[in-house]
Amino acid sequence: MMNTSMSSSRGFGGLGSTKPSSHKVRDIEQELREAEKDDELSSDDEQKAPAGDPNEIKPCPNCHDKMPASEIAAHTVQCYRNSTKCKVCSKVILKDKKKEHLMHWRNLELLKQAIINDQCEQVSLHFDHGADCN
């Protein structure tokens, strides 16, 4: 047996009359026809305009270096191949520089400086990167 005592359509009475307006329907039909015309026009525009300006300056999605759009594809491939993202600070660094990056954050002098200067974020980055000040 299904429990049908909960009626979801309670109070749905008296407001049932929607007046169809023939005028409005005609408006919509006209709008649709005009929209179709617009589509045709815009596809013509796309043929004329090249996809992307080769001189446009764009940031590399990996290292965020800015360069012309014409160079970005080649750069990005190289960039992903040669660089790595630091798991700790999510900074993109060249694979060659990874050691340098860690050395920087494990440098106790820099850590001391950060502590002295009250740079909380810097200090925690030092520890996150494996600085050991014992």
**What would you report as the CA-atom Rg of the chain, rounded to the nearest whole angstrom?**
31
Nearer to Zn ion, 32 or 89 (CB): 89
84: how many CB neighbours lie within 10 A of its CB?
Answer: 16
**Stretch of 12-20, 34-42, 46-54, 81-89 contacting Zn ion, by CB under 5 A:** 81-89
Backbone angles phi, psi at 93, to 5 degrees: -135, 150
Which amino acid, one-letter code, is at 107? N
Contact flag: residue 62 with Zn ion (CB under 5 A): yes
Contact flag: residue 63 with Zn ion (CB under 5 A): yes
Contact flag: residue 88 with Zn ion (CB under 5 A): yes
Q: Is 22 helix (H, G, I), strand (E, B) or coil?
A: helix
Q: Which residue ranges make up the site for Zn ion (CB under 5 A)?
A: 60, 62-63, 65, 79, 86, 88-89
